[in-house]
Chain A
Amino acid sequence: MTAEQIADLTTASMNHPAPAGDPRPTTSYVLRVNGFERPVADAWIGESLLYVLRERLGLAGAKNGCEQGECGACSVQVDGQLVAGCLVPAALAADCEVSTVEGLSAAGAASDVQQALAESGAVQCGYCTPGMAMAVHDLLQRNHRPSEVEARQALCGNLCRCTGYRSALAAVQSVADQRAAALLAAEEAAQQAAAEAAGAEASPAAAAPEPEDTAAQEPPVYQDAWTQTATVGEVPLFDEGWISAEEHPGATAAGTGLGVIPAQGYDPTAYGYGPGTAYDGAGYEPTPAHATSAPYEGTPAQGTPYEPTPAHGTAHQGTPSHGTAYPAAPPYTAGPYAQAPYPGAPYDGIGYPGTPAHGVPAQPTPFDGTVYETTPSPAEDDHA
Chain B
Amino acid sequence: MLPTSLDEAVEALGASPAAVPVAGGTDLMEAVNAGRLRPAALLGLGRITELRGWRYEDGGTAVLGAGLTLARMDRPDFAALIPALADAARTAGPPQTRNVGTLGGNIATNAATGDTLPVLAALEAVVTLARAGATREVPVSHLLTGHDPMRAGELLTWVRVPLLHAPQVFLKATGRSGPSRATASVALVLDPARRGVRCAVGAVAPVPLRPLEAEAWVAGCIDWSARGEEGARTIDPAAAAAFGEYVASACVPDGYGADPAAGTAGEGPTAAAVALRRTVAVLARRALGRALK
Partners in one complex: yes
B91 within 8 A of A: yes
- Contacting pair A233 B83 (CB below 8 A): yes
- Complex CA gap A237/B129 in Å reads 34
- Contacting pair A1 B67 (CB below 8 A): yes
Most B Cβ at <10 Å: residue of A25, A82, A233: A233
Write the residues of chain B forming the contact surface with A, with a CB cutoff of 8 angstroms: 2, 18, 20-34, 36-42, 44-46, 66-67, 71, 75-76, 79-80, 83-84, 86-87, 90-91, 93-97, 99-102, 104-106, 108-110, 149-150, 154-156, 168-174, 176-180, 283, 290
- Contacting pair B25 A1 (CB below 8 A): no
- Complex CA gap A75/B104 in Å reads 23
- Complex CA gap A82/B94 in Å reads 10
- Complex CA gap A154/B179 in Å reads 11
Most B Cβ at <10 Å: residue of A2, A8, A153, A226: A2
- Complex CA gap A63/B108 in Å reads 29
Interface residues of A in 39-94 (CB under 8 A from B): 45-46, 48, 67-70, 72, 75, 78, 81-84, 86-89, 91-92, 94
- Contacting pair B105 A81 (CB below 8 A): no
| Chain A residues, Cβ within 8 Å of B97 | 69, 84, 87, 157
A142 to B, closest residue via Cβ: B95
In-complex Cβ contact of B150 among A4, A135, A156 (8 A): A4
- Complex CA gap A197/B31 in Å reads 63
Expressed in whole angstroms, the minimum distance between the Cβ of B256 and any Cβ of chain A is 20
B180 to A, closest residue via Cβ: A70
- Contacting pair A25 B40 (CB below 8 A): yes
A382 within 8 A of B: no
Q: A9-B20, A87-B26 are in contact. Are A240 and B177 (CB under 8 A)?
A: yes
- Complex CA gap A72/B98 in Å reads 13
- Complex CA gap A226/B46 in Å reads 26
A156 to B, closest residue via Cβ: B178
In-complex Cβ contact of A46 among B32, B80, B101 (8 A): B32
A232 within 8 A of B: yes
- Contacting pair B31 A6 (CB below 8 A): yes
* New A-B pairs, 8, CB < 8 Å, besides A237-B171, A241-B178: A1-B23, A13-B38, A48-B33, A82-B95, A83-B99, A84-B97, A235-B90, A238-B178
| Chain A residues, Cβ within 8 Å of B80 | 232
A-B contact pairs, 14 of them (CB 8 A): A3-B27, A3-B28, A13-B38, A46-B38, A48-B32, A67-B33, A72-B94, A87-B29, A94-B2, A138-B95, A153-B95, A156-B94, A231-B79, A232-B80
| Chain A residues, Cβ within 8 Å of B75 | 223, 226
- Contacting pair B102 A236 (CB below 8 A): no
- Complex CA gap A236/B188 in Å reads 12
| Chain A residues, Cβ within 8 Å of B290 | 234
A22 within 8 A of B: yes
Expressed in whole angstroms, the minimum distance between the Cβ of A157 and any Cβ of chain B is 2
Interface residues of A in 94-150 (CB under 8 A from B): 94, 135, 138
Q: Interface size for chain A: under 10, 10 to 19, 20 to 34, or 35 or more residues?
A: 35 or more
- Contacting pair B104 A1 (CB below 8 A): yes
A10 within 8 A of B: yes
- Complex CA gap A193/B172 in Å reads 56
Expressed in whole angstroms, the minimum distance between the Cβ of B182 and any Cβ of chain A is 9
- Contacting pair B25 A4 (CB below 8 A): no
| Chain B residues, Cβ within 8 Å of A94 | 2
B24 to A, closest residue via Cβ: A2
- Complex CA gap A211/B30 in Å reads 52
A7 within 8 A of B: yes
In-complex Cβ contact of B99 among A13, A68, A81 (8 A): A81
| Chain B residues, Cβ within 8 Å of A87 | 24-26, 29-30, 96-97, 100
A181 within 8 A of B: no
- Complex CA gap A156/B101 in Å reads 16
- Contacting pair A69 B30 (CB below 8 A): yes
B107 to A, closest residue via Cβ: A1
| Chain B residues, Cβ within 8 Å of A240 | 177
A194 within 8 A of B: no
- Contacting pair B27 A2 (CB below 8 A): yes
- Contacting pair A68 B94 (CB below 8 A): no
- Contacting pair B22 A235 (CB below 8 A): no
- Contacting pair B76 A157 (CB below 8 A): no
Expressed in whole angstroms, the minimum distance between the Cβ of A79 and any Cβ of chain B is 9
Q: A1-B66, A2-B28, A83-B99 are in contact. Are A236 and B20 (CB under 8 A)?
A: no
- Complex CA gap A241/B180 in Å reads 12
